[in-house]
Chain A
Amino acid sequence: SQQGEEDPQALSIQEGENATMNCSYKTSINNLQWYRQNSGRGLVHLILIRSNEREKHSGRLRVTLDTSKKSSSLLITASRAADTASYFCATAETSGSRLTFGEGTQLTVNP
Protein backbone atom coordinates (compact mmCIF):
# COMPACT_ATOMS: atom_id res chain seq x y z
CA SER A 1 0.00 0.00 0.00
CA GLN A 2 1.11 3.57 -0.58
CA GLN A 3 2.75 5.36 2.36
CA GLY A 4 1.82 8.81 1.17
CA GLU A 5 -1.59 9.99 0.18
CA GLU A 6 -1.90 13.17 -1.83
CA ASP A 7 -4.83 15.50 -1.66
CA PRO A 8 -6.46 16.55 -3.89
CA GLN A 9 -6.19 13.90 -6.59
CA ALA A 10 -6.73 16.54 -9.25
CA LEU A 11 -6.49 20.32 -9.22
CA SER A 12 -7.34 22.76 -11.99
CA ILE A 13 -6.41 26.44 -11.67
CA GLN A 14 -5.77 29.53 -13.81
CA GLU A 15 -2.33 30.85 -14.64
CA GLY A 16 -1.08 33.20 -11.96
CA GLU A 17 -2.97 31.48 -9.14
CA ASN A 18 -1.31 29.52 -6.36
CA ALA A 19 -1.59 25.74 -6.16
CA THR A 20 -1.44 23.81 -2.90
CA MET A 21 -1.07 20.05 -2.68
CA ASN A 22 -1.07 18.02 0.50
CA CYS A 23 0.54 14.74 1.45
CA SER A 24 -0.15 12.57 4.48
CA TYR A 25 1.87 9.57 5.61
CA LYS A 26 1.69 6.93 8.30
CA THR A 27 5.10 6.09 9.74
CA SER A 28 8.14 7.90 11.09
CA ILE A 29 10.25 9.31 8.31
CA ASN A 30 13.81 10.37 7.68
CA ASN A 31 12.83 12.74 4.89
CA LEU A 32 10.01 13.59 2.52
CA GLN A 33 10.54 14.43 -1.13
CA TRP A 34 8.41 15.99 -3.83
CA TYR A 35 8.69 15.04 -7.48
CA ARG A 36 7.04 16.21 -10.68
CA GLN A 37 6.18 14.05 -13.67
CA ASN A 38 5.16 15.34 -17.05
CA SER A 39 2.88 13.01 -18.95
CA GLY A 40 4.43 9.56 -19.21
CA ARG A 41 7.97 10.72 -18.59
CA GLY A 42 10.52 10.32 -15.82
CA LEU A 43 10.21 12.04 -12.50
CA VAL A 44 11.98 15.30 -11.72
CA HIS A 45 13.07 16.00 -8.16
CA LEU A 46 11.72 19.24 -6.68
CA ILE A 47 12.56 19.43 -2.98
CA LEU A 48 13.80 17.17 -0.18
CA ILE A 49 12.84 18.16 3.37
CA ARG A 50 14.31 16.31 6.34
CA SER A 51 12.34 15.34 9.42
CA ASN A 52 14.01 18.03 11.53
CA GLU A 53 13.05 20.77 9.07
CA ARG A 54 9.72 22.57 8.99
CA GLU A 55 9.86 24.58 5.79
CA LYS A 56 11.93 24.82 2.62
CA HIS A 57 11.82 27.10 -0.38
CA SER A 58 13.05 26.71 -3.92
CA GLY A 59 12.11 29.42 -6.39
CA ARG A 60 8.30 29.46 -6.62
CA LEU A 61 8.03 26.29 -4.52
CA ARG A 62 7.43 26.17 -0.78
CA VAL A 63 7.26 22.92 1.15
CA THR A 64 6.19 22.52 4.75
CA LEU A 65 6.47 19.46 6.96
CA ASP A 66 4.53 18.77 10.14
CA THR A 67 5.83 15.55 11.65
CA SER A 68 3.32 15.69 14.52
CA LYS A 69 0.47 15.53 12.00
CA LYS A 70 2.45 13.36 9.58
CA SER A 71 1.69 15.70 6.73
CA SER A 72 3.40 17.92 4.19
CA SER A 73 2.24 20.52 1.72
CA LEU A 74 3.65 21.79 -1.55
CA LEU A 75 2.77 25.32 -2.58
CA ILE A 76 3.45 26.55 -6.11
CA THR A 77 3.07 30.31 -6.35
CA ALA A 78 2.18 32.29 -9.48
CA SER A 79 1.56 29.11 -11.44
CA ARG A 80 2.30 28.81 -15.17
CA ALA A 81 0.89 26.57 -17.87
CA ALA A 82 4.26 24.77 -17.86
CA ASP A 83 3.58 23.67 -14.26
CA THR A 84 0.89 21.31 -15.59
CA ALA A 85 2.05 17.86 -14.43
CA SER A 86 1.54 15.18 -11.81
CA TYR A 87 3.11 15.87 -8.44
CA PHE A 88 4.17 13.07 -6.10
CA CYS A 89 5.31 13.03 -2.53
CA ALA A 90 7.66 10.27 -1.46
CA THR A 91 8.73 9.30 2.03
CA ALA A 92 11.90 7.66 3.27
CA GLU A 93 11.09 5.79 6.47
CA THR A 94 13.53 5.79 9.36
CA SER A 95 13.32 2.02 9.60
CA GLY A 96 13.30 1.28 5.90
CA SER A 97 15.64 1.81 3.04
CA ARG A 98 13.50 2.92 0.15
CA LEU A 99 11.32 5.75 -1.10
CA THR A 100 7.59 5.09 -0.99
CA PHE A 101 5.50 7.19 -3.36
CA GLY A 102 1.98 8.48 -3.00
CA GLU A 103 -0.61 8.33 -5.75
CA GLY A 104 0.01 11.86 -6.94
CA THR A 105 -1.92 15.04 -7.64
CA GLN A 106 -2.68 15.93 -11.24
CA LEU A 107 -2.28 19.69 -11.58
CA THR A 108 -3.68 21.49 -14.62
CA VAL A 109 -2.84 25.17 -15.08
CA ASN A 110 -5.07 26.81 -17.66
CA PRO A 111 -3.58 29.69 -19.68
Chain B
Amino acid sequence: KAGVTQTPRYLIKTRGQQVTLSCSPISGHRSVSWYQQTPGQGLQFLFEYFSETQRNKGNFPGRFSGRQFSNSRSEMNVSTLELGDSALYLCASSFLGGGQDTQYFGPGTRLTVL
Protein backbone atom coordinates (compact mmCIF):
# COMPACT_ATOMS: atom_id res chain seq x y z
CA LYS B 1 0.00 0.00 0.00
CA ALA B 2 1.49 3.34 -0.98
CA GLY B 3 2.10 5.82 1.80
CA VAL B 4 1.09 9.44 2.09
CA THR B 5 2.73 11.60 -0.55
CA GLN B 6 3.25 15.34 -0.52
CA THR B 7 4.29 17.62 -3.34
CA PRO B 8 6.40 19.56 -3.75
CA ARG B 9 9.02 18.53 -1.19
CA TYR B 10 10.76 21.89 -1.17
CA LEU B 11 9.53 25.33 -2.09
CA ILE B 12 11.05 28.80 -2.00
CA LYS B 13 8.76 31.80 -2.27
CA THR B 14 8.98 35.51 -1.56
CA ARG B 15 6.82 37.57 0.76
CA GLY B 16 3.42 38.42 -0.64
CA GLN B 17 3.23 35.42 -2.95
CA GLN B 18 0.85 32.54 -2.52
CA VAL B 19 1.52 28.83 -2.46
CA THR B 20 -0.42 25.60 -2.90
CA LEU B 21 0.70 22.34 -1.33
CA SER B 22 -0.70 18.95 -2.23
CA CYS B 23 -1.26 15.79 -0.23
CA SER B 24 -2.35 12.35 -1.45
CA PRO B 25 -3.57 10.13 1.39
CA ILE B 26 -3.32 6.39 1.76
CA SER B 27 -5.92 4.63 -0.37
CA GLY B 28 -9.15 4.23 1.58
CA HIS B 29 -8.43 7.00 4.07
CA ARG B 30 -11.01 9.77 4.04
CA SER B 31 -9.41 12.04 6.64
CA VAL B 32 -6.53 14.38 5.85
CA SER B 33 -5.06 16.66 8.49
CA TRP B 34 -2.49 19.40 7.99
CA TYR B 35 0.14 20.56 10.47
CA GLN B 36 2.73 23.31 10.54
CA GLN B 37 6.03 22.57 12.25
CA THR B 38 8.47 25.30 13.25
CA PRO B 39 11.36 25.29 15.76
CA GLY B 40 9.63 27.93 17.87
CA GLN B 41 6.03 26.73 17.89
CA GLY B 42 6.44 23.01 17.36
CA LEU B 43 3.72 21.00 15.64
CA GLN B 44 0.53 22.97 15.27
CA PHE B 45 -2.74 21.73 13.84
CA LEU B 46 -4.01 23.65 10.83
CA PHE B 47 -7.18 21.82 9.77
CA GLU B 48 -8.74 18.48 9.02
CA TYR B 49 -10.81 17.45 6.05
CA PHE B 50 -13.05 14.41 6.00
CA SER B 51 -15.04 13.37 2.93
CA GLU B 52 -14.53 16.80 1.32
CA THR B 53 -15.72 18.74 4.39
CA GLN B 54 -13.57 20.73 6.77
CA ARG B 55 -14.24 19.06 10.08
CA ASN B 56 -11.92 21.00 12.37
CA LYS B 57 -9.74 24.06 12.18
CA GLY B 58 -6.78 25.26 14.21
CA ASN B 59 -5.94 28.77 15.29
CA PHE B 60 -4.45 30.14 12.08
CA PRO B 61 -5.38 33.26 10.10
CA GLY B 62 -7.67 33.09 7.12
CA ARG B 63 -4.65 33.24 4.79
CA PHE B 64 -4.40 29.51 5.41
CA SER B 65 -7.07 27.53 3.61
CA GLY B 66 -7.56 24.08 2.25
CA ARG B 67 -9.83 21.78 0.40
CA GLN B 68 -10.35 18.12 -0.27
CA PHE B 69 -11.38 16.46 -3.48
CA SER B 70 -13.67 13.50 -4.05
CA ASN B 71 -10.65 11.16 -4.29
CA SER B 72 -9.57 12.37 -0.81
CA ARG B 73 -6.55 14.23 -2.13
CA SER B 74 -6.14 17.53 -0.33
CA GLU B 75 -4.57 20.87 -1.07
CA MET B 76 -3.50 23.60 1.29
CA ASN B 77 -3.15 27.19 0.19
CA VAL B 78 -1.35 30.03 1.90
CA SER B 79 -1.92 33.49 0.48
CA THR B 80 0.10 36.67 1.04
CA LEU B 81 3.08 34.79 2.43
CA GLU B 82 4.94 36.17 5.42
CA LEU B 83 8.45 35.35 6.63
CA GLY B 84 6.93 33.55 9.61
CA ASP B 85 5.21 31.07 7.31
CA SER B 86 8.56 29.39 6.69
CA ALA B 87 8.05 25.92 8.08
CA LEU B 88 7.72 22.22 7.43
CA TYR B 89 4.13 21.50 6.41
CA LEU B 90 3.00 17.98 7.16
CA CYS B 91 -0.13 16.21 6.14
CA ALA B 92 -1.45 13.04 7.68
CA SER B 93 -4.18 10.65 6.66
CA SER B 94 -6.27 8.25 8.67
CA PHE B 95 -9.40 6.17 8.35
CA LEU B 96 -11.50 7.64 11.14
CA GLY B 97 -9.82 11.01 11.56
CA GLY B 98 -10.32 13.33 14.50
CA GLY B 99 -7.34 11.83 16.28
CA GLN B 100 -9.33 8.66 16.96
CA ASP B 101 -6.94 6.34 15.14
CA THR B 102 -3.39 6.21 13.85
CA GLN B 103 -2.36 9.06 11.59
CA TYR B 104 0.06 8.32 8.78
CA PHE B 105 2.28 11.23 7.89
CA GLY B 106 3.79 12.25 4.60
CA PRO B 107 7.41 13.42 4.30
CA GLY B 108 6.40 17.06 4.43
CA THR B 109 6.88 20.14 2.29
CA ARG B 110 9.66 22.47 3.39
CA LEU B 111 8.53 26.05 2.62
CA THR B 112 11.01 28.88 2.78
CA VAL B 113 9.73 32.44 2.49
CA LEU B 114 12.33 35.06 1.58
Partners in one complex: yes
Q: Which residues of A contact B (CB under 8 A)?
A: 2, 30-31, 33, 35, 40-45, 48, 88, 90-93, 96-104
Residue of A nearest to B58 (CB): A98
Cβ-closest chain A residue relative to B48? A98
Interface of A (DSSP majority class): strand
Residues on A with C-beta less than 8 A from B33 are 98-99
Give the shortest distance, in Å, between B80 (CB) and chain A (any CB). 25
* Pairwise interchain contact B110-A40, C-beta atoms closer than 8 A: yes
The residue on A at minimum CB distance from B6 is: A42
Most B CB atoms within 10 A — which of A41, A44, A91? A41
Q: List 28 A-B contacts (CB under 8 A).
A: A2-B42, A31-B99, A33-B99, A33-B103, A40-B108, A42-B108, A45-B102, A48-B101, A48-B102, A91-B99, A92-B98, A92-B100, A93-B99, A96-B98, A97-B97, A97-B98, A97-B99, A98-B33, A98-B45, A98-B48, A98-B56, A99-B33, A99-B45, A100-B45, A101-B42, A102-B42, A104-B42, A104-B43
